[in-house]
C-alpha cells in the first residue's frame, strides 16, 4: 500500500465513523445555524447592515464549527488506544494528518455549501444577484456563485489545515477544549480575512477582479500553511 | 548537586555588557529627544517613532529567532536550543507588547485614534497572541522533551505568519503610514540625521534584547539542570524490581 492509499483510507475511516455516529454533523450544523441566528440579533433591524454582514457571519459560524469538527476527529481516536494503533501504522505521520485533513475539509466544505444559502436567506443578501444593479451588470450570477463556492472551498481548506494540525497537537493535553481556539485563531486570521473579503466582493457587488485577488491570496496562505504543517506534523503527535 | 547559588550570580562580563547597554540606551534616547530634527508634518511627535520602530523591528527578530532556535531543537534535540528559544520568546513577547503600547501612544496624536483594525496593528496583536499561546502550551506539558518539541512547532507556525505581517502593508490598503525604508534598496525617504538616529536606536534595542536574552538563557540552563536532577532523584527513589515481585 502506498502513502496515497493510506491517506485515502484514513479519510475514508473518519468519514465512515462520522456517517455512523453523526456526532460532528449534528453538532456543527445546529451550532452554526444558531450562531447565524445569534449574530443576526447583533446586527439589529438594519437591513443594509445585515446584508453587508452576511458573509462575515457565515465565516464566523464556519470557524466555530470547524473547531468542533477538528477536535472531534482526534477525540474519537483517543478511545480504546485507537490513536496509538493509527500511529503505529507503518506510513508517514503526514499521511495520518492528510487523511484527517481530507475528511475534515470535506465536512467543512459541505457545511459551507449548506450555510451559504441559509446566511443569504437569513440576512437578506442576494447571493448570485450582486451582479445586477450595483455591479457592472456584465457578470453572470452563475459565475459569481461558482467563484463563491471556490472561495468557500479554499477558505475551509486553509482553516482545516490549521485546525486539524492544532487539534492533533492538543489532543492529549489538559484543557484542550479551551486551548485549541486560543492557539489556532491567531493563525487563521489571515485566512478568515481573505475569505470574508473575497466573499463580500462577490456578494456585495459581483466584483470578480477583487474577488480573484483575494482568492489568490487565500490560495497562497493555503499553500504556505500546507507546507509548514506537513513538514512539522511528525513532531506534533506523541511518539 | 549543582551549585545553584554560584550559577545564579550574574557573571562579571554580563554585568559590564548590561552597564554599557544602559549607557548606550541613554545616548540613543538623547539623540532621539534632543538632536533629531523636528518632522515637517509631525513636529516633535516624530521622536516617539525612534522608540516605536526600533522596538517593533527587534520584536520581529526575537520571534523569528524563537522559531530558529525551535527548529534547531527539532533538528539536533539539544536542550540548550530549547532554553535559548524560551529566552528569545519571552523577549519577543515583551518587545511585541511594547510595540503595541508604543504604537498606541504614537497613533493617538498623529492618527487621532488609539487603535485601528489596520493590518499591521492587527497582525502585531496576533503576534502577541501567538506568543502567549506558545507559553500556555509550555506550561501544560511536563515532559521536557515533548514540551520542547511541541512548543518549537508552535513557534515555527507563529513565525510563518510573520512574512504576511510584513507584506500586509502592501497587500491591504490601510491607514498605516507607508514604510520609509524599503529593504530592496530602492531608496530611503528620510532625513539622513533621522535615519542615523533610528538605526542607532535599533542597534541599541537589539543590544538590550541580546543582553536580557543571554541572561534569561543563563537562568534557563540552571532551570533545566535542576529539572533533570529532580527527575533523576525521583527515579532513584522508586524501588526497582517491585513489579517482578508482584508477578
3-state helix, strand, coil in chain A (%, to 5): 85, 0, 15
CA B74 and chain centroid, separation: 20
CA angle B29, B33, B38 (to 5 degrees): 140
Contacts of B176 (CB under 8 A, 6+ apart): B118, B119, B120, B121, B169
- Best-predicted range by mean pLDDT (A188-192, B108-112, B205-209, B239-243): B205-209
- In chain A (239 residues long), the average pLDDT of successive 10-residue segments reads 86 91 89 90 83 89 92 85 85 90 94 91 76 54 87 94 92 82 86 86 80 86 90 82
User: Do B164 and A221 count as a contact with CB atoms less than 8 A apart?
Assistant: yes
- What is the end-to-end Cα distance of chain A in Å, rounded? 23
Q: What's the pLDDT score for residue B174?
A: 47
Check pLDDT > 60 for residue B91: yes
Query: What is the pLDDT at residue B237?
Result: 73
Cβ pairs bridging A and B (under 8 Å): 59
Contact A63, A159 (CB under 8 A): yes
Name the residue with higher pLDDT: B181 or B115. Answer: B115
Please answer yes or no on whether B126 and A235 come within 8 Å at the CB atom: no
CA distances from B8 to A15, A98, B3, B110 (A): 55, 47, 9, 45
Gap between the Cα atoms of B184 and B43, Å rounded: 28
Predicted TM-score (pTM) of the model is 0.84
Q: Is A78 near chain B, with CB under 8 Å?
A: no
Answer whether B81's CB lies under 8 Å from B72's CB.
yes
What pLDDT digit, counting tens, does each position of B4-44 carry?
A: 677 788 889 999 999 999 999 999 988 888 888 888 777 78
Q: How far apart are CA A62 and CA A17, in angstroms?
A: 21
Distance from CA of A22 to the nearest CA of B (A): 31
- Which class for B55: exposed (0-12), middle (13-18), buried (19 or more C-beta within 10 A)? buried
* Residue B181 pLDDT grade (very low, low, confident, very high; cuts 50, 70, 90): low
ipTM score here? Answer: 0.83
Chain B contact present for A159, CB below 8 A: no
Q: How far is A195 from chain B (nearest CA, A)?
A: 14
Amino acid at each position: 500500500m502506498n502513502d496515497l492509499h493510506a491517506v485515502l483510507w484514513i479519510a475514508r475511516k473518519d468519514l465512515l465513523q462520522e456517517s455512523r455516529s453523526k456526532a460532528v454533523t449534528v453538532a456543527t450544523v445546529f451550532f452554526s445555524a444558531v450562531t447565524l441566528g445569534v449574530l443576526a440579533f447583533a446586527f439589529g433591524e438594519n437591513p443594509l447592515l445585515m446584508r453587508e454582514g452576511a458573509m462575515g457571519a457565515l465565516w464566523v459560524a464556519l470557524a466555530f464549527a470547524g473547531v468542533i469538527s477538528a477536535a472531534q476527529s482526534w477525540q474519537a481516536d483517543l478511545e480504546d488506544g485507537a490513536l496509538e494503533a493509527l500511529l503505529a501504522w507503518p506510513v508517514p505521520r503526514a499521511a495520518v494528518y492528510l487523511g484527517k485533513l481530507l475528511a475534515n475539509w470535506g465536512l467543512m466544505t459541505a457545511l459551507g455549501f449548506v450555510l451559504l444559502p441559509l446566511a443569504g436567506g437569513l440576512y437578506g443578501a442576494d447571493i448570485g444577484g450582486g451582479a445586477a444593479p450595483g455591479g457592472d451588470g456584465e457578470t453572470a450570477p452563475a459565475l459569481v456563485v461558482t467563484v463563491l463556492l471556490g472561495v468557500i472551498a479554499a477558505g475551509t481548506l486553509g482553516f482545516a489545515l490549521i485546525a486539524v494540525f492544532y487539534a492533533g497537537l492538543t489532543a492529549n493535553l489538559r484543557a484542550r477544549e479551551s486551548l485549541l481556539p486560543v492557539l489556532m485563531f491567531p493563525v487563521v486570521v489571515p485566512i478568515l480575512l481573505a475569505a470574508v473579503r473575497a466573499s463580500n466582493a462577490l456578494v456585495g457587488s459581483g466584483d470578480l477582479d477583487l474577488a480573484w485577488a483575494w482568492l489568490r491570496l487565500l490560495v497562497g496562505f493555503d499553500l504556505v500553511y500546507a507546507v509548514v504543517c506537513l513538514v512539522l506534523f511528525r513532531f506534533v503527535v506523541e511518539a | 548537586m549543582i551549585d545553584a547559588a554560584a550559577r545564579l550570580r550574574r557573571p562579571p562580563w554580563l554585568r559590564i555588557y548590561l552597564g554599557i547597554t544602559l549607557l548606550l540606551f541613554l545616548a540613543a534616547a538623547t539623540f532621539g529627544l534632543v538632536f533629531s530634527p523636528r518632522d515637517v508634518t509631525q513636529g516633535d511627535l516624530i521622536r516617539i517613532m525612534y522608540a516605536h520602530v526600533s522596538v517593533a523591528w527587534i520584536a520581529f527578530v526575537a520571534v523569528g529567532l524563537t522559531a530558529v532556535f525551535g527548529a534547531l531543537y527539532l533538528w539536533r534535540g539539544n536542550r540548550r536550543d530549547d532554553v535559548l528559544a524560551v529566552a528569545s520568546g519571552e523577549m519577543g513577547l515583551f518587545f511585541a507588547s511594547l510595540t503595541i503600547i508604543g504604537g498606541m501612544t504614537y497613533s493617538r496624536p498623529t492618527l487621532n485614534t488609539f487603535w485601528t483594525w489596520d493590518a499591521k496593528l492587527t497582525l502585531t496583536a496576533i503576534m502577541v497572541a501567538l506568543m502567549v499561546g506558545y507559553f500556555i502550551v509550555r506550561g501544560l506539558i511536563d515532559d521536557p522533551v515533548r514540551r520542547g518539541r511541541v512548543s518549537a512547532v508552535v513557534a515555527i507556525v507563529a513565525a510563518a505568519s510573520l512574512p504576511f505581517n510584513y507584506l500586509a502593508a502592501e497587500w491591504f490598503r490601510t491607514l498605516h503610514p507607508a514604510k520609509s525604508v524599503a529593504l530592496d534598496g530602492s531608496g530611503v525617504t528620510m532625513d539622513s540625521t533621522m535615519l542615523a538616529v533610528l538605526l542607532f536606536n535599533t542597534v541599541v534595542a537589539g543590544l538590550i534584547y541580546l543582553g536580557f536574552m543571554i541572561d534569561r538563557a543563563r537562568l534557563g540552563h540552571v532551570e533545566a539542570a535542576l529539572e533533570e536532577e529532580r527527575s533523576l532523584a525521583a527515579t532513584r527513589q522508586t524501588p526497582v524490581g517491585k513489579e517482578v515481585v508482584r508477578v
